[in-house]
Amino acid sequence: MSPFALGGARARVPAKINLHLGVGPLRDDGYHELSTVFCAISLFDEVTVRSADHLRITVNGDSARQVPADPTNLAAQAVMLVAEYLERQDANAEIEIDKQIPVAGGMAGGSADAAGGLLAASRLWRGDLSRDELLSLAAALGSDVPFSVLGGTALGTGRGEKLLPVLNRCELSWVIAVAKTGLSTPDVYRELDRLRAERDEIVPPPGRPDALLRALAAGDVTALAPLLHNDLQPAALSLQPMLRRTLRAGTEAGALAGIVSGSGPSCVFLCADPDAAVSVAAELSGSGVARSVKTAFGPVAGARLVTP
Ligand code: ATP
């Protein structure tokens, strides 16, 4: 049944890939200074919010059991924040999440659900918040949430929450290898700090990836491929050494390049075109290195209300 028939609203929100993730030194507030290029891809979660007499959360999908169905769920946090912002007496709502984005996979699945919760609750309660209002609530919920609202391709600085849209003329075809077990983002950052300390590394502030931005603006996928970069990759590989095999399998199958996505452990492979992506995905599926293999394209728009 349409959620609208029940006085509800539904938002569709994409996963993200970091085409570049530069991680600077640890800041006094416990975060790292980032310079990152986000790209939203066609792998979506849907968040439906309906009127109810108390807060209730259900999660559907293969990995639903890994997601908390309680007020710590990021979509629930978002709905409660909208209620507070609109000065409602209560945040009673039924929240239903249909998950396609891998959980703890470095693809901002929880952030996507938070963005979906913001947008759907804003519509349900007729708040119809502006994009700036949504972005400012999003930044309070997490570093990646503003990008889940915005989508497309964007340069992120600060904790990743300060966004500047980027000109991207590339149509990017991706293969995503979802790992058998997840990785916790804070654990990966801690491992990066440990590896850097071990090498007595002086960490400079992260620079802007100008060559990558030029390749995007030029629509040059071949030039882009070798410029994909992730400072968190050594830390993710240190915690899950078998990801090296996954990365090798993808490039041997014909991908132009492969990197760990964000804090991992999902690995993403850039392919020359959609046909190449299907062939790389088929070979990776057969190699047994991943729990599941998906194809996607990007960039796509950020959080959107789904109309009947
Ligand atoms: P990021 O790429 O933003 O670092 P991630 O994609 O690696 O994050 P998430 O899928 O966002 O990781 O999940 C991180 C943790 O957040 C999960 O282990 C889960 O316990 C918790 N969590 C809370 N709400 C949600 C949600 N709606 N969806 C997924 N995870 C959630």
Domain of 80: which CATH number? 3.30.230.10
Positive/negative CA dihedral, 203, 207, 212, 216: positive
Index of the ligand 1 atom closest to the CA of residue 110: 11
**In three state form, how does the secondary structure of the chain look?**
CCCCCCCEEEEEEEEEEEEEEEEEEECCCCCEEEEEEEEEEEEEEEEEEEECCCCEEEEECCCHHHCCCCCCCHHHHHHHHHHHHCCCCCCCEEEEEECCCCCCCCCCHHHHHHHHHHHHHHHHCCCCCCHHHHHHHHHHHCCCHHHHHHECEEEEEECCCEEEECCCCCCEEEEEEECCCCCCHHHHHHHHHHHHHHCCCCCCCCCCCHHHHHHHHHCCHHHHHHHCEECCHHHHHHHCCCHHHHHHHHHHCCCCEEEECCCCCCEEEEECCHHHHHHHHHHHHHHCCCCEEEEEEECCECCEECCC
62-91: pLDDT as tens digits: 889 999 999 999 999 999 999 999 999 989
The verdict on 220 and 101 lying in the same domain is no
The verdict on 54 and 188 lying in the same domain is no
Index of the ligand 1 atom closest to the CA of residue 104: 12
Residue nearest to atom 20 of ligand 1 (CA): 67
The verdict on 213 and 162 lying in the same domain is no
The verdict on 278 and 186 lying in the same domain is yes
Distance CA 19, CA 247 (A): 15
Q: Is 162 tagged catalytic?
A: no
Catalytic pick from 98, 144, 231, 294?
A: 144
Domain span at 291? 172-297
The verdict on 13 and 142 lying in the same domain is yes
The verdict on 189 and 159 lying in the same domain is no
pLDDT of residue 63: 87
103 lines ligand 1 (CB under 6 A): yes
Residue nearest to atom 12 of ligand 1 (CA): 104
* CATH code of the domain containing 262: 3.30.70.890
The verdict on 162 and 218 lying in the same domain is no
160 lines ligand 1 (CB under 6 A): no
pTM for this model (two decimals): 0.94
Beta bridge partner(s), residue 17: 39
In 3D space, the residue among 231, 143, 240, 144 whose CA is nearest the CA of residue 193 turns out to be 231
13-55: pLDDT as tens digits: 999 999 999 999 998 999 999 999 999 999 999 999 999 999 9
68 lines ligand 1 (CB under 6 A): yes
Q: What is the rounded end-to-end Cα distance, in angstroms, of the chain?
A: 10
The verdict on 144 and 17 lying in the same domain is yes
Per the structure, the count of domains in the chain is 2
In the chain, what percentage of residues exceed pLDDT 90? 91
166-194: pLDDT as tens digits: 999 999 999 999 998 989 999 999 999 99
Residue nearest to atom 1 of ligand 1 (CA): 108
As a whole number, the mean pLDDT across the chain is 95
Contact 168, 218 (CB under 8 A): no
The verdict on 78 and 176 lying in the same domain is no
Confidence of residue 1 (pLDDT cuts 50, 70, 90): very low
Contact 112, 41 (CB under 8 A): no
Position 163 pLDDT exceeds 80:
yes
Residue nearest to atom 23 of ligand 1 (CA): 73
pLDDT of residue 298: 96
Q: Regarding beta strands 93-98 and 172-178, do their DSSP bridges make them parallel or antiparallel, or are they unpaired?
A: unpaired
Catalytic pick from 16, 98, 99, 231?
A: 16
pLDDT of residue 104: 87
The verdict on 97 and 123 lying in the same domain is yes
The verdict on 53 and 135 lying in the same domain is yes
Position 2 pLDDT exceeds 60:
no
183-230: pLDDT as tens digits: 999 999 999 999 999 999 999 999 999 999 999 999 999 999 999 999
The verdict on 233 and 115 lying in the same domain is no
pLDDT of residue 62: 86
Distance CA 249, CA 254 (A): 9
Q: Is 180 tagged catalytic?
A: no
| Arithmetic mean of pLDDT, 282-308 | 93
Contact 122, 164 (CB under 8 A): no
Task: Give residue 111 CA to ligand 1 midpoint distance, Å.
Answer: 7
